[in-house]
Amino acid sequence: MRLIRAENYQDVSRKAANIIAAQIQLKPYCVLGLATGSSPVGTYRELIAKFEAGDLDFSQVKTVNLDEYVGLPKDHDQSYAYFMRTNLFDHVNIDQANCNIPDGMNPDTEGECARYDAIIDGFGGADLQLLGLGPNGHIGFNEPAEAFAKGTNKVALTDSTIDANARFFASRDDVPTHAYTMGIGSIMKAKRVLLVVNGVKKAQAVKDCFFGPIRPQAPGSILQLHPDFILVADEDALSLVRDLL
Ligand code: GLP
């Protein structure tokens, strides 16, 4: 694990965007694994600024998103498909035909998971997978569990995740209870993993996942085994591990 320390959220976003920009510049036809949630929003903003400055070309980039809520259509303003369009895709010259995301409206669970795994495997895994970290240590929507999930799967969201995501919906009852997510195995197929995390609310998860034992109850902990894992964290997120650094 390579730790890049950042002062605050803006600094996390700038540092992460620089790494992604370098990836695109070195391999213009790269496959980016992308994430949603509030953590990567600043990173996307920085990437858009680099595009507008003429420093980045997304025309050959392909993407695979981590996850999608079950039951939300692509045009629902809380679907992750909508999030990606409004936070990144609509603002850069990416071909949206090259952007993949699980279909939350596909009722055929097995079929949807197999379809998505085939896309990831067709790419041979992402060149770079961007991740956020849930307050309970989840990555994608891989919640704390008894085992690490290998491929794409449909998960029941934990109460704490539903609580954490309720702020984006009109009421807690509107938060979907299930999601399709890339498995831990699919995430680990990425050649490089870049996780962005900020804020004291994530400090315990950072400690459990990256400074403790590797176990499925702390899903992000598996990343300690990845050969090219970069953690970009701000000082607040590192507040419980300062004496270990
Ligand atoms: C959601 C997403 C995750 C994300 C997590 C943290 O549950 N499925 O991919 O990392 O939330 O969200 P935030 O960045 O808003 O704290």
List the strands of the sheet with 153-156, edge to edge. Answer: 67-69, 178-181, 153-156
pLDDT digits (tens, 9 = 90+) for 178-213: 999 999 999 999 999 999 999 999 999 999 999 999
pLDDT attached to residue 40:
98
pLDDT digits (tens, 9 = 90+) for 105-146: 999 999 999 999 999 999 999 999 999 999 999 999 999 999
CATH says 2-228 is which class?
A: alpha beta
Atom of ligand 1 nearest to the CA of 36: 9
Question: In degrees rounded to 5, what are phi and psi of residue 212?
Answer: -135, -170
pLDDT digits (tens, 9 = 90+) for 30-88: 999 999 999 999 999 999 999 999 999 999 999 999 999 999 999 999 999 999 999 99
Helix (H, G, I), strand (E, B) or coil at 231: strand
* 46: annotated active-site residue: no
pLDDT attached to residue 148:
95
| Domain residue ranges in the chain | 2-228
Give, for ligand 1, the residue of 12, 39, 201 to mutate: max count of ligand atoms closer than 8 Å to Cβ: 39
pLDDT attached to residue 165:
87
* 93: annotated active-site residue: no
pLDDT attached to residue 161:
86
- Cβ 219 vs Cβ 181: under 8 Å: no
Residue percentage of the chain with pLDDT more than 70: 100
Write down the mean pLDDT value for the chain: 97
Q: Which two tokens stand for residue 224?
A: 């300690």
